Amino acid sequence: MLARIYRPAKNAMQSGKAKTKDWVLEFEPASARRSDPLMGWTLTSDTDGQIRLSFETKDEAVSYAQAHGIPFQITEAKTPKRIIKAYADNFAYGRKQPWTH
């Protein structure tokens, strides 16, 4: 029952960064999902996969896992490289690509 401690990535459908500040503790799935032959829903016998705990800091998540004897793996978040541009750069004379319609 290995737990993952990570910082979630931002939602690809939105430009905001909500819910990316907290650290999340989730359990790895213990068994594979299977489909129900009658309805086609996916089933699992693993109830730990439904647990998702949020913490404000990585240290809080680590101390929680250690206090409860949960083996864990920490995944550090990659910080995105910010490209600072101005709108006027689209019309600059020394532009790398030609500006056309």
Structural domain of 52:
1-9+18-30+47-77
Q: What's the confidence (pLDDT) of residue 45?
A: 82
65: in domain:
yes
* Mean predicted lDDT score pLDDT of the chain: 87
Q: Which of 10, 3, 54, 53 is nearest to 30 (CA)?
A: 3
Q: The tokens 């019309």 sit on which residue? A: 91
pLDDT confidence band for 63 (50 / 70 / 90): very high
Q: Is residue 64 part of a domain?
A: yes
Q: Looking at residue 22, which CATH number applies to its domain?
A: 3.30.160.190
Q: How many CA atoms lie within 13 A of 95 on its CB side?
A: 13
In-domain check, residue 36:
no
Residue 101 has pLDDT above 70, yes or no: no
Establish if 97 belongs to a structural domain: no
Is 84 part of a structural domain of the chain?
no
Residue 55, in any domain of the structure: yes
Number of domains present in the structure of the chain: 1
Q: Where are the beta strands (DSSP E) in 1-101?
A: 3-6, 23-27, 34-35, 42-43, 52-55, 72-75
Q: Identify whether 70 is part of a domain.
A: yes
- pLDDT band of residue 71 (cuts 50, 70, 90) is very high
Q: Does residue 42 lie in a domain region?
A: no
